[in-house]
Structure 1
Amino acid sequence: MGVQKNDERDDEFHQFVTAAWPRLLRTAFLLSGDRHTAEDLVQATLERSYVAWWRVSRADDRDAYVRRILLNEHARRFRRRLREQLVTAVPERPAEGGFGRVDDRAALLAALAALPPRQRQAVVLRYWEDLSESQVAAAMGCSVGTVKSQASKGVAKLRAVFLPAGVTRLGGAA
């Protein structure tokens, strides 16, 4: 009987991984700026998720639970290094998602990698993952106000890189 439960749990986890892998990999890539680091980050996240699958599987939103594990794992790795690595290479074939449509992905990824970690998390989750402010706040373990502030600062820094001097928004000058 215990074997049956383990087999069911493994099947359920396998189905979750199959569905969530592309999304987790895209998020990890945007957070880390490197394909290999992103794969390692997702692998570590899924290892932690499997160990705690009995909790994850009972969560109201499994994706949110695992996304939080991903952010925590990224933060843990970041704290271990004094300086975060900048983007080393852009994958030949970008992951599915909005950033694949940008003409100069390398410049965007480099600018994204230059953001402080909390700003990068807020921007990636809010605008690439299209999560609500409350979902981002839950994932980051902070208030909605902090999400708004960090996302605003991050977007402002990205705009400074991509918009000509004197232009504060697309379609107009300051």
Structure 2
Amino acid sequence: MRKLLQKQTSAPKKAKKGPTNTATTVEESKPTIGLLYVAEKYEGWKEECLKILQAKYDKGSRSFARDQDISAALKESPIGQLADFKIILKQCMPFLRFKKDETLAVGPEALDVKLPFDEMQVLQENVDLIKRQIGLEKLEIFFITDESARNKAGSYVSVLRQTPPSPGNPVAIFMAALVFQQNSARTGA
């Protein structure tokens, strides 16, 4: 979250021409509000990949079936029947490798579609600490499945589309209070 906030608040590469009141502009645009989006479980192609890995994992030997067997199961799965399967496959392979490595490190619970704890509850219990550590006035935490919550992101909703949250990896969006108020007014929140 700190890195994302730093990236979002870093100065633009090109300076605007003409006179501006820098102190006012910086203060008005300084992010003081954070929106944190959480996913309860893996969905779509990630969920299908996890199901395949669960079926291809031998708990006794703590090993997976051959990569060719996993790829074959992926091609035979519902996502293997989609027209854009080749595009999805490019996303699946790194995810499969990551989850295989994670499983070997922490055990078969890494293949669960949900976390073994309530991520939303943990974040809610620590909201004051997060606000202090990042320097925010307000932090709201939502499930990504809540459409009205996604609408609060306004133009930043593209961030959620490009890198959607997954269990254990929430996505944070930071904005100035003025932008947040405008987004809230548009969504009626």
TM over 0.5: no
Higher strand proportion, which one?
2
Structure number with greater Rg is: 2
TM-score computed with the length of structure 1 as normaliser: 0.27
Structure with more contact order per residue of length (Cα contacts < 8 Å, sep ≥ 6): 2
Higher helix proportion, which one?
1
